[in-house]
Amino acid sequence: MKKKNLYRNIPKVDDLLNHELIKDFNDSKDHTLIKESINQVLNNLRKEIGLLKDDAVESFDINNEKIVKKAIQLTLNFKAMNLKNVINGTGIVIHTNLGRSNLSEEIAKEAYDIATGYSNLEFDLNSGKRGHRYNHIEELICYLTGAEGALVVNNNAAAVMLVLDTLAKDQEAIVSRGELVEIGGSFRVPDVMKRSGTLLREIGTTNKTHYRDYEQAINENTGVILKVHTSNYRILGFSETVPREELVSLGEKYKIPVYEDLGSGLLFDFSNYMTMDEPTVKEIVESGIDVISFSGDKMLGGPQAGIIVGKKKYIEAMKYNQLTRALRVDKMTFAALEATLRAYLDPERVKLIPTIKNIIVTKEEIYEKAKRLKSILDDFNELSMDIKADQSQVGGGSLPLTLLDTYVLSIRLDGVSPNSLSNKLRLSKYPIVGRINNDQYLLDLRTIDTEDFDLIKNSFKDILSGGKNV
Ligand SMILES: *Cc1c(COP(=O)(O)O)cnc(C)c1O
């Protein structure tokens, strides 16, 4: 047979639309989608034929049922949400690729209510006049941090831009070379800063920067003294940085504002649970730093946002910066952030913020979870499992030196490599992302909720029965 004949054998779209399997779709509102999908499958088929070697033409099979099934699958995939929940078995609490912090149901409910109805976002119910969206949470942030003023933008990267644009546009920002960090996704703090129109005046060396380095760099064109949290790494050993208090007095001496990009930003005091070499935002405000920014979805445990706190006059200047309009936060975010911050007012509720909860959960509790999951998965004879002590990371560029004691479930499936098991679970109905260590597939129970155990069981059932998603 020639290729020409193969092309001729490709079925007509109308014939396929009458296929038994597709009839229900054809009569429904998915009619247009299913037709599109058929066209797409047929186009792919033509391409496939075009690439066929001559000796493969004879045995090439065009099967209407296969084409129709593919088209149905395409349609269903296209209609389903791409963005979906994933079970985080990595143990990394603030996992940027998996969406960083989660909202508790209670907090998400506030965002849901505001998202699904009109609200007083920019409307003052007392006067009946236009209000300001920032007013809803400024007082609250100030109460929690001790700052004079506060502003919220889209994320901390946006906060960095806005602060520098306001304090040091076309001026210099003095920054230590030891603090010029890249924080993942090839996002470099210095590059964002340059985009704000601020000239970076780099001082010191990677491991050592002295007070005199800062002082010598000050000139009439200095706009700000900048301190950047080296979120995801630490220089240990022979190193020196200038303490906050000294930067503050340097700033006072020369009447130059001092700004700290804090990255994560702690509002919760973890000292009852673990030793932590990080000050809280409140402590940094008390040290006298003029402006501080941090993320809403790192250690704070809220939605994506950039929170700026500091002296009133600087915060006011930022509110009137036109850039603020472009970095403005949506009402859903405001609702989720306000609800998260309000949870901080109650010492018990704050511990239920998922990010906080997953950091302070005890290893005994994690062990109990591991035992329970193991006993659920014990129903599958094909699996062999052990519970092992291990360590998990906080992630999200937060607390790079802190490792948290945890328990993992090590899972083996006969004749299946850890990598292949990992692929199957990732592609299963309720995607599971674990970690592989020493050639073992591990699920870290720190970041897995007991409510998800049934979903995990279903995913295993799915892959062990050779379900459609394998
Ligand atoms: C994470 C981080 C940022 C960026 O914050 P986003 O909220 O992700 O935009 C900026 N600076 C530092 C030091 C960080 O750790």
Calpha distance 49→6 (Å, rounded)? 8
Is the CB of 263 inside a 6 Å radius of any atom of ligand 1? yes
Pocket residue to mutate for ligand 1, from 175, 176, 261, most atoms within 8 A of Cβ: 261
Answer whether 0.85 is exceeded by the pTM. yes
In the prediction, which pLDDT does 349 show? 96
Ligand 1 centroid to Cα of residue 394, in Å, is 15
Ligand 1 centroid to Cα of residue 308, in Å, is 12
Is the CB of 296 inside a 6 Å radius of any atom of ligand 1? no
Of 25-34, 245-254, 339-348, 350-359, which range is least confident?
A: 25-34
- At residue 357, φ and ψ (nearest 5 deg) are -55, -45
- The yes-or-no verdict on residue 440 having pLDDT over 50 is yes
Calpha distance 252→222 (Å, rounded)? 13
Burial 301-317 (b: 16+ CB within 10 A, else e): bbbbbbbbbbbeebbee
Mean pLDDT within 257-274: 93
Calpha distance 316→321 (Å, rounded)? 9
Is the CB of 366 inside a 6 Å radius of any atom of ligand 1? no
Mean pLDDT within 330-339: 97
Ligand 1 centroid to Cα of residue 405, in Å, is 26
> Which atom of ligand 1 approaches the CA of 232 most closely?
15
| Closest alpha carbon to 93 in 357, 362, 323 | 357
Compute how many other C-beta atoms are within 10 angstroms of the C-beta atom of residue 203.
Answer: 18
| Closest alpha carbon to 162 in 130, 134, 202 | 134
In the prediction, which pLDDT does 26 show? 66
Confidence class of residue 4 from pLDDT cuts 50, 70 and 90? confident
Ligand 1 centroid to Cα of residue 155, in Å, is 8
In the prediction, which pLDDT does 470 show? 37
In the prediction, which pLDDT does 27 show? 67
Residue of the CA atom closest to atom 3 of ligand 1: 263
Q: State the number of CA atoms in the 13 A half-sphere of 4 facing the CB.
A: 1
Mean pLDDT within 449-466: 93
- The yes-or-no verdict on residue 385 having pLDDT over 70 is yes
> Which atom of ligand 1 approaches the CA of 228 most closely?
13
Ligand 1 centroid to Cα of residue 295, in Å, is 6
Of 135-139, 166-170, 186-190, which range is least confident?
A: 186-190
Ligand 1 centroid to Cα of residue 326, in Å, is 18
Ligand 1 centroid to Cα of residue 187, in Å, is 9
Calpha distance 292→135 (Å, rounded)? 19
Q: Which residue has the tokens 């970041």?
A: 447
In the prediction, which pLDDT does 186 show? 62
- The yes-or-no verdict on residue 468 having pLDDT over 60 is no
Confidence class of residue 469 from pLDDT cuts 50, 70 and 90? very low
Confidence class of residue 467 from pLDDT cuts 50, 70 and 90? very low
- The yes-or-no verdict on residue 35 having pLDDT over 80 is yes
Calpha distance 172→169 (Å, rounded)? 8
In the prediction, which pLDDT does 233 show? 65
Pocket residue to mutate for ligand 1, from 231, 292, 299, most atoms within 8 A of Cβ: 231
Q: Which pLDDT tens digit goes with each residue over 59-102? A: 898 999 999 999 999 998 898 889 999 999 999 999 999 999 99
User: What residues does 201 pair with on adjacent strands?
Assistant: 174
Return all residues near 280 (Cβ < 8 A) that are at least 6 apart. Answer: 266, 267, 268, 269
Residue of the CA atom closest to atom 5 of ligand 1: 156
- CA–centroid distance for 15 within its chain: 47
- CA–centroid distance for 317 within its chain: 30
- The yes-or-no verdict on residue 399 having pLDDT over 80 is no
Residue of the CA atom closest to atom 1 of ligand 1: 263
- Does residue 192 or residue 35 have the better pLDDT? 35
Q: State the number of CA atoms in the 13 A half-sphere of 69 facing the CB.
A: 6
Residue of the CA atom closest to atom 13 of ligand 1: 263
Share of the chain above pLDDT 70, in %: 96
Helices 135-145, 331-343: inter-axial angle, 10-degree rounding: 30
Return mean pLDDT, the chain.
Answer: 92
- The yes-or-no verdict on residue 162 having pLDDT over 70 is yes
Is the CB of 303 inside a 6 Å radius of any atom of ligand 1? no
- Does residue 327 or residue 20 have the better pLDDT? 327
In the prediction, which pLDDT does 184 show? 63
Of 188-192, 283-287, 337-341, 411-415, which range is least confident?
A: 188-192
Q: Which pLDDT tens digit goes with each residue over 198-234? A: 999 999 988 889 999 999 999 999 999 999 988 666 6
- At residue 306, φ and ψ (nearest 5 deg) are -120, 125
- The yes-or-no verdict on residue 47 having pLDDT over 80 is yes
Ligand 1 centroid to Cα of residue 351, in Å, is 23
From the CA atom positions of the chain, what is the Rg in Å? 28
Instruction: Encode the chain in three state secondary structure.
Output: CCHHHHHHHCCCHHHHHCCHHHHHHHHCCCHHHHHHHHHHHHHHHHHHHHHCCHHHHCCCCCCHHHHHHHHHHHHHHHHCCCCCCCEECCCCCEEHHHCECCCCHHHHHHHHHHHCCCCCCCEECCCCEECCCCHHHHHHHHHHHCCCEEEEECCHHHHHHHHHHHHHCCCEEEEEHHHCCECCCCCEHHHHHHHCCCEEEEECCCCECCHHHHHHHCCCCEEEEEEECCCCCCCCCCCECCCHHHHHHHHHHHCCCEEEEEECCCCCCHHHCCCCCCCCHHHHHHCCCCEEEEECCCCCCCCCCEEEEECHHHHHHHHCCCHHHHCCCCHHHHHHHHHHHHHCCCCCHHHHCHHHHHHHCCHHHHHHHHHHHHHHHCCCCCEEEEEEEEEEECECCCCCCCEEEEEEEEEEECCECHHHHHHHHHCCCCCEECEEECCEEEEEHHHCCHHHHHHHHHHHHHHHCCCCCC
In the prediction, which pLDDT does 10 show? 94
